[in-house]
Structure 1
Amino acid sequence: MNTADLGLPVDVPSTALFTDHYELTMLQAALKAGTADRRSVFECFTRRLPEGRRYGVVAGTGRVLDAVENFRFDADVLGFLRERNVVNEETLEWLAAYRFSGDVWGYPEGEVYFPGSPIMRVEGSFAECVLLETVILSILNHDSAIAAAASRMASAAGDRPLIEMGARRTHELAAVAASRAAYVGGFATTSDLAAGFRYGIPTVGTSAHAFTLLHDNERDAFQAQVDSLGRNTTLLVDTYDVTEAVRTAVEVAGPELGAVRIDSGDLLLVAHRVRQQLDELGAVNTKIVVTSDLDEYAIASLAAAPVDAYGVGTQLVTGSGHPTCSMVYKLVARAESADPKAPLVPVAKKSSGGKTSIGGRKWAARRVDGDGVAEAEVVGTGPVPAELADRQLLVELVKGGEVVAREPLDVVRDRHAVARGNLPLSAAQLSRGEAVLPTEYVHLRSGS
């Protein structure tokens, strides 16, 4: 596949080096010990949600599938590992033939999750699964954090559309992933053209303050923009004096002016004044777009304001204060030997300090009440209770090394809207609180 689809520079041949040094040294030691081929089960989960969050959002799954498919140790990568003496020649020979041939199950992208939810399960030999730890966590931790922030903002915005415009506030490649995750979480458009090109997300944009400052006066700037982009364009009205700018904008574009954008000041007060002025000037259908360091709290505070759309940048691409989900990737079961028929044995970390894990290959289901509203996340091993059989969450993503679950991004976006809508109403509260659903464990063996 083309590495540009992953948000990578075209000269990066694979995702194989998006991993940590110790993944390869573990592989080398396991090969020498004869344990590398033991059938293993790894699970990705988080022990807790970021403080104050009521739910998490699974995002980045599609990018994970691309990364797994493109995890190849080509000649250049092997040459780098050899030059740095990262692993020995026997291990390099093994890596040269590496192709993930196992299975991956996971929550469908766009689904919500809670503490302990087995968001992704990777099965295969220890050797082929352990190498994927870092790249999977890198993608899921970043994208899910952005999608969760986006979801909270979308909930606060209600029916008003959100524009993602944070590309200039983060790494250029992270910006593309953030735009994708924001779209999953409920944003309608992006300013980032790379995201539009790679993922088909609708792109929007008109002008910045620099365009106004370029011209001798504001009227000339507005006239140039309308002449080029039409009367339905969005004019930025806070470069100098907002009241004068709105008057000039309507004089230039007429009542057919598409929208005005406000990027500074007391947005609540200014929006009310601008709406009144637009109506008095006959521009009753001209919309108001607000930007300026918005987050979910600021958006919620503008619920009563005559605002038609929000543009969000910094707070979105930094996860609104939580840029990671603290997901981990843990070995939860492994075979007693390399024999393909050897039974799986639950394993778990037993250390103290809040970092214990729970052994066993798990399933997950969401129990709902009589009205179809979610009431608990149920995680277990062994047989799934009959009453939860049709409520299971994990789906097959990769089978025998082949991706089997690619889907359009709009499907993922719609799924999230449904999943969020099926949560209790308190999920939309922005006040600090615990996860909106409790996680119930059945038939599990604790590692503590």
Structure 2
Amino acid sequence: MSDGFDVVSEAAIRDGTATDAYFLRTEETLEAADRNPRVVAEVTQDQFPTGEFDLLAGLKDAARLLEGLPIDVDAMREGQLFDGGPVMRIEGDYLDFARYETSLLGFLSHQSGVATAALEARRAAPDSSVLSFGARHVHPAIAPMVERGALVGGFDGISHVAAGEVLGREASGTMPHALVIAFGDQEAAWEAFDETVDPEVPRIAICDTYSDEKDESVRAAEALGDALDGVRLDTTSSRRGDFRHIVREVRWELDARGHDDVEIFVSGGLGPADLRELRDLADGFGVGGHVSNADPLDFALDIVEVDGELVAKRGKLSGKKAVFRTPDGGHHVGLADRADPEGGEALLEPLIRDGELVREFDVDAAAERALADAEAVGFRDET
């Protein structure tokens, strides 16, 4: 037993021991039988379209895992929406990649779930600033995965410092309730922050620690004057009441006193429905658990050809497949050697050729793709 943190090392992921035991026993058995078939394997969630799209993420780590193996891999683009059929196809000798299945599916399943939830929130408030506040809900070792998934889903920023260093992004964030409590006085805390923290950091005062939101918001505006950029309301749900009414009150009182340039930011257990309700009042949102606690997508990897012959386990579809975005925003799944749908855009593209990674990754490009694709397919459209 290790005396350190309960974290699997990168070395274990790369050498394939971060896997389920039965894959290593499968290796042992096939090697003893001198059998190593040439296979086509596909990563899928649903076999046929269901009408419910999800967002593909985690592909960068998946590609790094498979890079260097003597295999060919095709995959959809990071930030692409899909609805049934394969998101990735692997062709090669089975023993060259068998032990990596567990980590491969983990990379894709978890971040795709996170990114899909982020896109739901982003679509709920398309004109607002939306930041990821959910790192505190997950194991710190996977905070970069959560923050990257949020960015792929279209979020404007992240809060986790170490994750930002991994991703090359500066973390956002101003002050918690703990700062006010440590001073024991709201004005003292706001003023100390303003006097201490880098001027480039926005002055966003937390305004619901001891008294009601409109009282503290007005006091913050009076204490900091023109230095105040905004107020943040993070009221616990047990004291929140009609949150929309509270935000309207705060806006009214600030405007009435000539502080119409002070923005209002809202956080605390928010999901897409809350963002839709408040988006006309609040300038920005911090979204945490809805994204960080999202269920992973239920991807599976299945062999669909062995030595050129069609095969499939019960409940799965045999044969190498292709997927397409149709002109009407639909998702089409078909056998790869059959006619393409008229006007369809093929979504599976080369990712690895004979072990060499042939694609680059850019989180901003993935986010742009996700937002454009969401518009095209009507992802989670609600009034």
Give me the TM-score of the superposition, normalised by structure 1: 0.78
Equivalent residue for 1:428?
A: 380
Determine if contact 1:59/1:110 at 8 Å carries over to the other structure. yes
Where 1:387 maps in the other structure, the secondary structure is coil
Which residue of the other structure, out of 168, 176, 188, is the alignment partner of 1:200? 168
TM-superposition CA deviations, 1:378-436 (whole Å, max 9, x none): 33231343735x61110111110111112221111111111112113xx33359xxxxx
Equivalent residue for 1:399?
A: 353
Cα pair distance change 1:412/1:270, threshold 3 Å: same
Quote the Cα distance in structure 2 between the aligned partners of 1:324 and 1:147. 10
| Structure 1 position 130, deviation (Å) | 1.6
Quote the Cα distance in structure 2 between the aligned partners of 1:8 and 1:67. 14
* Partner amino acid, structure 2, of 1:143: Q
Which residue of the other structure, out of 333, 337, 341, is the alignment partner of 1:382? 337
Where 2:172 maps in the other structure, the secondary structure is coil
Cα pair distance change 1:276/1:216, threshold 3 Å: same
Equivalent residue for 1:345?
A: 309
* Partner amino acid, structure 2, of 1:55: F
Quote the Cα distance in structure 1 between the aligned partners of 2:148 and 2:330. 29
Equivalent residue for 1:328?
A: 300
* Partner amino acid, structure 2, of 1:291: S
TM-superposition CA deviations, 1:164-207 (whole Å, max 9, x none): 01111111122220110110001110001122111123420111
Determine if contact 1:256/1:285 at 8 Å carries over to the other structure. no
Where 1:104 maps in the other structure, the secondary structure is strand
Quote the Cα distance in structure 2 between the aligned partners of 1:391 and 1:29. 41
Quote the Cα distance in structure 1 between the aligned partners of 2:188 and 2:380. 44
Quote the Cα distance in structure 1 between the aligned partners of 2:337 and 2:89. 15
| Structure 1 position 18, deviation (Å) | 1.9
Cα pair distance change 1:375/1:275, threshold 3 Å: same
Determine if contact 1:235/1:261 at 8 Å carries over to the other structure. yes
Where 1:307 maps in the other structure, the secondary structure is coil
Which residue of the other structure, out of 254, 279, 282, is the alignment partner of 1:303? 279
Q: Please list every run of 5 or more consecutive structure 2 residues that lacks an aligned counterpart in the other structure.
A: 1-6
Which residue of the other structure, out of 187, 192, 209, is the alignment partner of 1:224? 192
* Partner amino acid, structure 1, of 2:40: V
Quote the Cα distance in structure 1 between the aligned partners of 2:358 and 2:247. 48
Determine if contact 2:118/2:291 at 8 Å carries over to the other structure. yes
| Structure 1 position 226, deviation (Å) | 1.3
Where 2:285 maps in the other structure, the secondary structure is strand
| Structure 1 position 67, deviation (Å) | 2.2
Quote the Cα distance in structure 1 between the aligned partners of 2:47 and 2:250. 43
* Partner amino acid, structure 1, of 2:297: C
Equivalent residue for 2:19?
A: 19
- Percent identity, aligned pairs only, is 26
Quote the Cα distance in structure 1 between the aligned partners of 2:65 and 2:108. 12
Cα pair distance change 1:27/1:360, threshold 3 Å: same
Equivalent residue for 2:4?
A: none
Equivalent residue for 1:174?
A: 142
Quote the Cα distance in structure 1 between the aligned partners of 2:11 and 2:72. 29
Where 2:184 maps in the other structure, the secondary structure is coil
| Structure 1 position 247, deviation (Å) | 2.1
* Partner amino acid, structure 1, of 2:365: V
Which residue of the other structure, out of 251, 254, 270, is the alignment partner of 2:222? 251
- Which segment drifts farther, 170-179 or 286-295? 170-179
Number of positions where the alignment pairs a residue of Structure 1 with one of Structure 2: 369
Quote the Cα distance in structure 1 between the aligned partners of 2:100 and 2:142. 19
Give me the TM-score of the superposition, normalised by structure 2: 0.90
| Structure 1 position 8, deviation (Å) | 7.2
Cα pair distance change 1:193/1:334, threshold 3 Å: same
Equivalent residue for 2:369?
A: 415
1:21-420 matches, within 5 Å, as 21-36=21-36, 38-47=37-46, 54-69=52-67, 100-115=69-84, 117-229=85-197, 230=199, 232-241=202-211, 242-264=213-235, 265=240, 266-304=242-280, 306-319=281-294, 323-335=295-307, 344-350=308-314, 356-369=315-328, 374-385=329-340, 387-388=342-343, 391-420=345-374
Quote the Cα distance in structure 1 between the aligned partners of 2:92 and 2:39. 6
Quote the Cα distance in structure 2 between the aligned partners of 1:48 and 1:104. 19
Quote the Cα distance in structure 2 between the aligned partners of 1:48 and 1:228. 56
TM-superposition CA deviations, 1:44-91 (whole Å, max 9, x none): 001279x9x83100000011112223xxxxxxxxxxxxxxxxxxxxxx
| Structure 1 position 157, deviation (Å) | 1.0
Quote the Cα distance in structure 2 between the aligned partners of 1:19 and 1:408. 28
Quote the Cα distance in structure 2 between the aligned partners of 1:239 and 1:249. 12
Cα pair distance change 1:131/1:313, threshold 3 Å: same
